[in-house]
Amino acid sequence: MDSAAAAGYVERPLRPGVADLFKLLAPFPGRAATAARVALICALTVWVTSAYGTPEAALSAYIVFFMIRPDRTTSFVTGVALLVLVSIVIGLVLAVAIVVVDYPPLRVAAMALLSASLLFVTSASKLRPVGAIVAMIVGFALDQLGRVPVGELATRALLYAWLFVAIPAGMSVAVSLVCAPSPRRLASRELAERLRLAARGLREPAATRDALDAALRKGNAEIGSWLKMSALEGTSLRADVVALQRAAVSSVMLLAAVDLACGEASARLPASFVEPIATTLEEMARMLDAGGYPVDIELTLPSSAPLTPLARAVADTLHDTITRFAEPTVESEAAHDAPSQPAPPAPHAGFFAADAFTNLDHVRYALKTTVAAMFCYLLYSQLDWPGIHTC
């Protein structure tokens, strides 16, 4: 036995090279549009804060990065939820400030306590998308109150703290409703990309292995969330959601079959199979890009008798999955046709995660982040560098 293996040796991962950095910067569908939307929201935020003389325009623009989401519905919900949450928290800060504003040690202790509490809630609850930025706003508000302890100025400081979030939230909601794609569009685009990837995988097995692995690891959770949002905002009928959910499952089956064909020489398909399958997949992708989804697909293939058993299984799987790509399963059809039958009650998803009070990782996250933030706060306070407060 190798001594390194016996000692529990773990191989070090390779350092990322230039090629890996270029992969991170490579364009993908929707990246340029999202970047342009973020830039527009930041520009409008800075314009509004400058026009009205609101201080800390840079902080307001920075908050935009915590709000932006790929689709318009989630972006709208996130912006409104953050605005409501910050309004409540500012009231909490005002109550705490009455007690601690004149006592710097108590104010710092309150900042640390509120930060740890909010970060714990961020890690262990549904506030995960916005909790961290709320913790930063609370700390910043208490810091500003310590600098202007006079009653009227302190109240004005809290108003500014609310505007730090209200302005970018308003801009984000307005721009997202006008410019952001619908969740249905994002789901269809992701499915179309999967079909194109499967077609490329059949034609260029060696060049698509990494992309196939990444797509299979991604799963259907994000697509499922987009489809739920599309039903919520009314852009998809229930039948469309069921069909696209089935299409998402079918797309994973297609990718798995193509991945097998790419990885096993005995599973490779000859050109007489590859071309009709790849062409059909590309046509299906165009249907998804147009806003619909493929149904009643016909795919004629040569006899699979001459193929190896593994290649025959791949060909049969691809054929069956393509021709029934968006057809609901028997169970889905039964559930759709018989809504009067009571479904078993789903477990109630509460505000806190199931392991919120048993998993120490939530506490560790809150404490280590609070310690880091308070160290930065005390350091820049002693150095008199308040301009780097976003750290």
- Tell me the per-residue pLDDT of 30-64, one tens digit each, with 9 for 90 and over: 888 889 999 999 999 999 998 988 887 888 888 88
Q: What's the average model confidence in pLDDT over 108-128?
A: 85
Q: What is the pLDDT of residue 154?
A: 65
Q: What is the pLDDT of residue 146?
A: 64
Q: What's the average model confidence in pLDDT over 58-78?
A: 86
Token pair belonging to 320 = 């069956």
* CB burial readout 135-145, b (16+ within 10 A) else e: bbbbbbbbbbb
Q: Do 187 and 242 meet the contact criterion of CB atoms below 8 Å apart?
A: no
Average pLDDT, rounded, for the chain: 83
The residue type found at 351 is: F
Q: What is the pLDDT of residue 245?
A: 93
Token pair belonging to 274 = 């590859």
CA angle 147, 152, 153 (to 5 degrees): 30
Distance in angstroms (rounded) separating the CA atoms of residues 122 and 130: 7
Nearest to 23 by CA among 258, 217, 262, 211: 211
Distance in angstroms (rounded) separating the CA atoms of residues 60 and 276: 53
Distance in angstroms (rounded) separating the CA atoms of residues 60 and 371: 24
Distance in angstroms (rounded) separating the CA atoms of residues 235 and 255: 28
Q: What's the average model confidence in pLDDT over 343-366?
A: 76
Q: What is the pLDDT of residue 282?
A: 95
Distance in angstroms (rounded) separating the CA atoms of residues 391 and 386: 10
Q: What's the average model confidence in pLDDT over 125-149?
A: 72
Q: Do 191 and 243 meet the contact criterion of CB atoms below 8 Å apart?
A: no
pLDDT in tens, 356-380: 888 999 999 999 988 988 898 888 8
Nearest to 273 by CA among 340, 199, 336, 219: 199
29 CB neighbour count, 10 Å cutoff: 12
269 CB neighbour count, 10 Å cutoff: 23
CA distances from residue 48 to 38, 39, 58, 90, 309 in whole angstroms, order as listed: 15, 14, 12, 21, 66
Distance in angstroms (rounded) separating the CA atoms of residues 196 and 212: 11
- Those residues whose C-beta lies under 8 Å from the C-beta of residue 171, and which sit 6 or more positions away, are 41, 44, 45, 48, 64
Q: What is the pLDDT of residue 168?
A: 92
pLDDT in tens, 264-320: 888 899 999 999 999 999 999 999 999 888 988 888 889 888 899 999 999 999 999
Give me the residue spans of the domains in the chain. Answer: 32-181+357-388, 183-336
Report DSSP state, residue 102: T
CA distances from residue 66 to 82, 204, 254, 263, 366 in whole angstroms, order as listed: 10, 39, 35, 40, 18
* pLDDT bracket for residue 334 (50, 70, 90): very low
* CB burial readout 293-332, b (16+ within 10 A) else e: bbeebebebeebeebeeebbbbbebbbebbeebbbbeeee
Q: Using N-to-C axis directions, what is the helix angle for 57-67 and 31-51, rounded to 10°? A: 150
Distance in angstroms (rounded) separating the CA atoms of residues 84 and 130: 11
Q: Report the range out of 88-97, 162-171, 341-350 with the highest average pLDDT.
A: 162-171
* pLDDT bracket for residue 86 (50, 70, 90): confident
Dihedral sign for Cα atoms in the order 320, 321, 323, 327 = positive
Q: Tell me: pLDDT of 101 over 80.
A: no
Distance in angstroms (rounded) separating the CA atoms of residues 323 and 315: 12
Q: Tell me: pLDDT of 198 over 80.
A: yes
Q: What is the pLDDT of residue 28?
A: 78
Q: Tell me: pLDDT of 246 over 70.
A: yes
